[in-house]
Amino acid sequence: MADGQRTTYVLVDGENIDATLGASILGRRPRPEERPRWERLLQFASDQWSQPSVGLFFLAAGNELPMPFVQALLAIGYRPIPLSGGPGEKVVDIAIQRTLVELQRREADVFLVSNDGDFVDQASALLDGRRVAVVGFGEFRNSAFAELIDRGLEAYDLEYDVAAFNAPLPRVRIIPIDEFDPAQFL
């Protein structure tokens, strides 16, 4: 990376995205082919803001490292961050919150990949002139992020904007009339 070039940090709340995809969209555990193509997200972040992106993928590992998944993340350019903690401790949320606070001290931009409102305060603090985006599923994004959009927060949909899936998900959303294609429903 060239000196002085800004970086976009892509912070992925893997648990939140997986839970939303499974419980709220599919109604079951996603099959491997139904999961996001995470490499597309890194490319989207780099393309969107014309600067390099660094992917940090946070996951609750407990006492067992999910090596096949970790190796897959490494192969596509992410830094896996497997975490463990005490019973009931939301280790992924804690780690992402700490990372967002640390990023306040750095010249960097942020893509926060989560629908979780637990990060609203930290995202708000980052809206100090830098670029910050929240990425997830629009209809499941915590409504508190909407207030930050007026302050410059960008919002992207993992399926519709990032195109991170190989096949359409069975989502129900409000469709802007300019995007309506009746063939999708016939």
pLDDT at 2 over 60: no
Q: For 34-67, how does the pLDDT look when each residue is reduced to its tens digit (9 = 90+)?
A: 999 999 999 999 999 999 999 999 999 988 899 9
Provide the whole-model pTM.
0.92
Q: What mean pLDDT is predicted for residues 103-112?
A: 96
pLDDT at 30 over 70: yes
Q: Are 154 and 133 in contact (CB under 8 A)?
A: yes
Amino acid at 103: L
Q: What mean pLDDT is predicted for residues 8-13?
A: 98
CATH topology of domain 7-61+72-165: Rossmann fold (3.40.50)
What pLDDT score does 129 carry? Answer: 94
Domain ranges (residues) in the chain: 7-61+72-165
What pLDDT score does 33 carry? Answer: 87
What pLDDT score does 175 carry? Answer: 82
Residue 59 neighbours by CB distance under 10 Å: 22
